[in-house]
């Protein structure tokens, strides 16, 4: 039993360190159907920091980490990552990564100095639409590969999907088990209790976000942030890769100064 536990794949095995070894520590957590590489462009603008990224369970280098793919298991993984770093951190979560960060800050506030979330879903709320890409993917319980393909096509378009090599398409389809699992779990119950978050929270949203995404970001800013909602003008949901300088300047750098 102990030996099996020792050889079981862990997300911390995908952990990558960037920037200045003597810089302040920040951990970045990616969203659904994404991977740590999504932060590569942003990290070029904050080289003075000691930044950590990793692939969440079910994705990229963590594709062999088994389920269940839930908020709770993703929180377990983030805690494992921070404990392996060995110090309190500031954390940035993009989309589902933001949910993971907030839920971890609820469970283990002693590990965090402050957190930032960008367009984190609140799919359990009655006002959250039932026709989003996430909702449609979560409904495809019996076809996770189809869910992954549909989800990616919705975000990158059919033309870009069709240009991908077949091996890449199959790799991305295989990540559908994580996608369906985590997005289904988001719809069962609230992922965190804001009253339990004892660290500063920076809530950010892109200027091109839908009304429900903006509402969720405003909700967080009003209830648990010491600073106003941060809006990245003209930014899309994939701001870490499509608006990297703005993401670094408006989200990460302010986070590093945030304190109660």
CB contact burial 233-255 (16+ within 10 A = b; e otherwise): eebebbbbbebbebbbebbbeeb
Is 226 inside a domain boundary?
Answer: yes
Residue range 132-150, pLDDT digits in tens: 989 999 999 999 999 999 9
Is 160 inside a domain boundary?
Answer: no
Residue 126: which residues within 8 A CB-CB, separation 6 or more? none
Give the per-residue pLDDT at 8.
82
Domain count, the chain: 1
Residue range 107-124, pLDDT digits in tens: 999 999 999 999 999 999
Give the per-residue pLDDT at 25.
97
**Cβ atoms 169, 188 nearer than 8 A:** no
Residue 3: pLDDT over 70: no
Q: What is the mean pLDDT of residues 181-185?
A: 96
Is 152 inside a domain boundary?
Answer: no
Which range marks the domain in which residue 253 is found? 2-125+192-257
**Domain holding 253: CATH number?**
3.40.50.1820
Residue range 187-242, pLDDT digits in tens: 999 999 999 999 999 999 999 999 999 999 999 999 887 778 999 999 999 999 99
Give kind and range of the element (H or E) at residue 4. Answer: helix 2-7
Nearest alpha carbon to residue 102 among 114, 85, 89: 114
Q: What is the mean pLDDT of residues 32-47?
A: 98
Residue 187: which residues within 8 A CB-CB, separation 6 or more? 123, 124, 135, 138
Is 244 inside a domain boundary?
Answer: yes
């Amino acid at each position: 039993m102990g030996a099996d536990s020792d050889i079981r794949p862990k997300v911390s095995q995908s952990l990558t360190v960037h920037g200045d070894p003597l810089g302040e520590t920040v951990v970045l957590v990616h969203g659904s159907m994404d991977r740590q590489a999504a932060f590569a462009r942003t990290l070029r603008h904050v080289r003075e920091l000691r930044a950590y990224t990793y692939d969440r369970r079910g994705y990229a280098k963590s594709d062999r980490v088994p389920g269940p793919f839930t908020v709770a298991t993703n929180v377990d993984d983030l805690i494992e990552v921070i404990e392996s770093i060995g110090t309190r951190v500031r954390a940035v979560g993009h989309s589902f990564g933001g949910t993971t960060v907030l839920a971890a800050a609820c469970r283990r506030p002693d590990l965090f100095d402050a957190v930032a979330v960008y367009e984190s879903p609140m799919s359990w709320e009655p006002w959250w639409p039932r026709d989003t890409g996430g909702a449609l993917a979560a409904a495809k319980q019996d076809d996770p590969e189809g869910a992954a393909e549909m989800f990616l096509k919705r975000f990158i378009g059919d033309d870009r999907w069709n240009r991908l090599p077949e091996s890449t398409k199959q790799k991305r389809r295989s990540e559908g088990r994580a996608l369906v699992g985590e997005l289904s779990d988001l719809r069962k119950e609230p992922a965190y209790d804001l009253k339990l978050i004892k660290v500063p929270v920076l809530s950010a949203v892109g200027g091109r976000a839908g009304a429900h995404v903006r509402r969720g970001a405003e909700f967080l800013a009003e209830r648990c942030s010491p600073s106003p909602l941060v809006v990245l003008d003209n930014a899309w949901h994939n701001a870490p890769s499509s608006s990297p300088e703005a993401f670094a300047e408006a989200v990460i750098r302010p986070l590093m100064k945030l304190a109660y």
